[in-house]
Amino acid sequence: MFLIDSSGWIEFLTDGPLAAEYLKYLKDASKIKTPTIVLYEVYKKIKRERTEEEALLAVSLLNRTSVIQLSESIALFAADLSLQYSLPMADAIVYATALEEGCKVVTSDSHFKGLDKVVFV
């Protein structure tokens, strides 16, 4: 199981230079977990830089994965991880969700570099 961070989804959806690398992890939606914070970040960035229609299409693609709601346990775990690793809030929520769900985080975000259970693209 994998959790694709916002940076990976955006890279793939905008056909960035690392899109082919992310495609390797995106082939089977049943093996992907997506925290709601990733929906937020992807929708916001694509709507801001492209169009609302493209942002909604992106969200429909993410909704084919297993979307994980922010629970109390994930929120508290994320706060602890943020303090431990100096992670920004969204990254801490992503990392906490991945660890709680038993997934590896696939990302290009430097905040995750060197953390356990992270595949850095």
Q: What does pTM read for this prediction? A: 0.95
Mean pLDDT confidence for 62-85: 98
Residue 17: pLDDT band (50, 70, 90) is very high
Q: How confident is the model at residue 109 (pLDDT cuts 50, 70, 90)?
A: very high
Mean pLDDT for 81-97 is 98
Q: Which pLDDT does position 59 carry in this prediction? A: 97
pLDDT of residue 66: 98
Q: Cα-flanking dihedrals φ and ψ of residue 114, to 5°? A: 90, -5
Question: Average pLDDT for residues 65-84, to the nearest whole number?
Answer: 98
CA dist 60 and 62 (Å) reads: 5
Give the pLDDT of residue 12. Answer: 97
CATH topology of domain 2-120: Rossmann fold (3.40.50)
Asked if 6 contacts 20 with a C-beta cutoff of 8 angstroms, the reply is no
Distances 113 to 12, 52, 69, 76 between C-alpha atoms, Å: 20, 32, 25, 22
The whole-number pLDDT of residue 68 equals 98
The CA distance from 14 to 116, in Å, is 28
pLDDT given at position 58: 97
Domain residue spans in the chain?
A: 2-120
| Average pLDDT taken over every residue of the chain | 97
